[in-house]
């Protein structure tokens, strides 16, 4: 049996706020340079949704109208756990009008890419977007799918024994990013 122990803190609350602001500034440049790209935000539950909301809030402060926010709940594929089902179950609380849209998909951690891949498959079942951007707080490498983030606020080299946990106030009661290490318990 394995347990997780905290190895080190990668970002405290102030650094998480800085990473979100940097993401918003990057996306603001994209939106200003390509006004036709102001399509939709899609947050992957759980922490991708508050991440997208925070970026949208920063865009407002930067004088931009943020894109409409939709949510996507992907179960049975996660980047930190084993595949526990043959197919992911994707739930959309409301339909996403993807046809010819520029879509910004938000997730907290990009690891193997299975979650992002399931999100993309679901979006393409709904129609053909004009462009899809993958936006993540942390890219930790070890991709199993040929995917990369269009914007990753933080890139961290990890081993397969390490895990990254993003804590956001809206879900966890605090803002921080920690690197954990799996330890085998006899």
Dihedral sign, Cα of residue 110, residue 90, residue 54, residue 50: negative
The CA-atom distances, in angstroms, between 10 and each of 30, 88, 156, 170, 178 are 27, 30, 9, 19, 5
Mean local confidence (pLDDT), 20-47: 90
H/E run at residue 89:
strand 89-91
Q: What is residue 5's predicted lDDT score, i.e. its pLDDT?
A: 93
pLDDT value for 83: 45
d(CA 158, CA 20): 21
How would you classify the pairing of strands 40-44 and 102-110?
A: parallel
Decide if pLDDT at 26 tops 70.
yes
pLDDT in tens, 130-186: 999 999 999 999 999 999 999 999 999 999 999 999 999 999 999 999 999 998 877
Contact present, 73 and 43 (Cβ < 8 Å): no
Structure confidence at residue 33 (pLDDT):
84
- Considering only 7-16, 29-38, 130-139, which range has the smallest mean pLDDT? 29-38
- For 39-98, the pLDDT digits (tens) are 899 999 989 999 999 999 999 999 999 999 999 998 754 444 444 455 566 778 788 999
Residues 112-129: pLDDT tens digits?
998 999 999 999 999 999
pLDDT of 106 strictly over 70: yes
If one counts every other C-beta atom within 10 angstroms of the C-beta of residue 156, the result is: 16
pTM reported for the whole predicted model: 0.90
pLDDT at 179: 97
Domains in the chain with CATH codes: 12-160 (3.40.50.2020)
């Amino acid at each position: 049996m394995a347990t997780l122990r905290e190895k080190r803190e990668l970002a405290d609350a102030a650094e998480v706020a800085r990473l979100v602001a940097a993401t918003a500034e990057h996306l603001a440049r994209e939106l200003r340079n390509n006004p036709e790209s102001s399509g939709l935000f899609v947050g992957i539950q759980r922490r991708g949704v508050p991440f997208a909301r925070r970026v949208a809030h920063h865009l407002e402060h930067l004088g931009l109208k943020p894109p409409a926010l939709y949510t996507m709940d992907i179960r049975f594929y996660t980047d930190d756990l084993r595949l526990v089902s043959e197919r992911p179950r994707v739930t959309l609380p409301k339909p996403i009008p993807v046809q010819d849209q520029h879509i910004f998909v938000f997730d907290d951690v990009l690891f193997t890419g299975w979650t992002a891949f399931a999100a993309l498959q679901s979006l393409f079942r709904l129609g053909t977007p004009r462009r899809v951007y993958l936006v993540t707080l942390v890219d930790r490498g070890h991709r199993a799918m040929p995917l990369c983030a269009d914007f990753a606020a933080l890139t961290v080299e990890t081993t397969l024994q390490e895990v990254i946990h993003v804590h956001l106030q809206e879900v966890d009661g605090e803002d921080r990013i920690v690197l954990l290490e799996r330890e085998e318990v006899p």
